[in-house]
Amino acid sequence: MATVAAGPHRGAPGFARRALTSDHLAGWLFVLPAVFLVALFSIFPIIWGFILSMQKASLLSPSRPFVGFDNYTHIANDPLARQAAVNAVYYTCLFVPISIIIALFLAIALNQKIRLIRFYRLAVFIPVAVSTIATGVMFMWVFDANFGLANWALGGVGLGPFGWFDSVSGAMPSLVIMTVWGWLGFDAIIYLAALQGVPHELVEAAAVDGASRWTIFRHVTLPLLGPATQLLVVWSTISAVQLFDEVFFITRGGPLGRTSVPVYYIYR
């Protein structure tokens, strides 16, 4: 009687390996360019930066002797580095919640069906497109201790002049005001897109059940804005940690190091 040799069935390990290879090879080929770009522009700079941090470099000398962790020890023992870290935390704790809360209410206002709404949306986004230098020049005039618009407004209500960027207590809040103004349009547009993605059926159903506008916002709209809020928290935190241009152009880390941040400290 003739016999037929049994081939590998679908549950055999060899078949699984071949199926895995054939099914996923095309996918890995599509992913490979992205992996290469991530490795080239993200992973490699991190590794190279760590290698450079173990050396003593100077613009006046081409040699880079290996010093191990001496640079890290110097930073840990440097009071200016600790002050820069504290300033960064202080700035982040002010910038992130203030910018997100104001952007949320601004997006709600921009989500209304009123005349010239497109113009208002464009006007809100314009500061994002303005360069940091132009923004700095404008706020240096607004917060000028002698002729600034802010002190002129304070004088109108009987308050004395305030040294915004020149004050130890006011320099960092002044930077926060300036950067919030610059990034507010971006955050508001993200929230506006999220608001327009809220299903109208849910809002109408809650209204039919007798829910107030505040109840609808708190229990329907706000939870659906969670992904947008998470995105903005991460984005704003990264932007806060990377703060440099405003400090370099306006305060140079002063007064008394109260606006020095880690990136500016590393630059110096």
Tell me how far the alpha carbon of residue 158 is from its chain's centroid. Answer: 38
Tokens 């991530």, residue?
38
Cβ contacts of residue 201 below 8 Å, gap of 6+? none
- pLDDT of 17 reads 54
Tell me, what amino acid is at 85? Answer: A
Strands (E), the chain: none
CATH, domain 79-267, list 3.30.70.260, 1.10.3720.10, 3.40.50.150, 3.50.50.60 = 1.10.3720.10
Number of neighbours of residue 79 by Cβ within 10 angstroms: 8
Q: Residues 156-183: pLDDT tens digits?
A: 888 878 888 888 888 999 999 999 999 9
Half-sphere exposure of 18 (CA within 13 A, CB side): 8
Residue (of 247, 261, 255) closest to 145 by Cα position: 255
Extract the residue ranges of the chain whose pLDDT is less than 50: 1, 15-16
CA-to-CA dists, residue 54 to 80, 137, 172, 226, 262, angstroms = 20, 38, 32, 41, 18
Question: Is 66 strand, coil or helix?
Answer: strand
Domain boundaries, the chain: 12-77, 79-267
- pLDDT of 181 reads 94
* Cβ contacts of 111-114, under 8 Å, gap ≥ 24: 111/192, 111/195, 111/196
Burial of 254 (0-12, 13-18, 19+ CB in 10 A): middle
- pLDDT of 184 reads 93
> What is the pTM (predicted TM-score) of this model?
0.79
* Cβ contacts of 204-213, under 8 Å, gap ≥ 24: none
- Here the tokens at position 216 are 């609808």
Question: Is 58 strand, coil or helix?
Answer: strand
Q: Are 223 and 209 in contact (CB under 8 A)?
A: no
